[in-house]
Amino acid sequence: MSDSPTATVDTTQTTQEELSTLVANLQRLAQEWECLLFSTSGALNLEKCFWFLLAWSWDKGRAKIHNLVSAPGDLSMTSEINPKLLTVKKVEPTESYRTLGVYITPIGCNKGAITVLKEAGA
């Protein structure tokens, strides 16, 4: 290891334990928001919900986004309408998924949206 301030040492490597903690915190927060939404006369249809995990690994100073294999994790929730524990679908960060009528990816790729528009003849 170098004492030089310009040395490139990756100290931000995400560990599986950190990813597990992140998913557990996300699950707790999502469940709290589901309860708050219900208390204000709202509801989530958990079968229509999905989530992305945006986490990066670092390799020689370059960031690479984790995928479903390198950052596994399940988010399971109940709803006030249905107390049965359901696993919310996890979507690949590079996968286009319909959100409010638009096909987007968290990493900013618009290939999915272009494909849908071409198929619709727009």
pLDDT, tens digit, 9 for 90 and up, residues 51-63:
988 888 888 888 8
Confidence class of residue 106 from pLDDT cuts 50, 70 and 90? Answer: confident
- The residue to which tokens 């334990």 are assigned: 17
pTM of the shown model: 0.69
Whether pLDDT at 113 is above 90: no
Encode burial over 7-21: b for 16+ CB neighbours within 10 A, e otherwise. eeeeeeeeeeeebee
Whether pLDDT at 75 is above 80: yes
Pair of tokens at residue 71: 């950052």
Cα radius of gyration rounded to whole Å, the chain:
19
Closest residue by Cα to residue 68 from 53, 83, 51, 85: 53
Would strands 50-51 and 86-90 be described as parallel, antiparallel, or unpaired?
parallel
Confidence class of residue 74 from pLDDT cuts 50, 70 and 90? Answer: very high
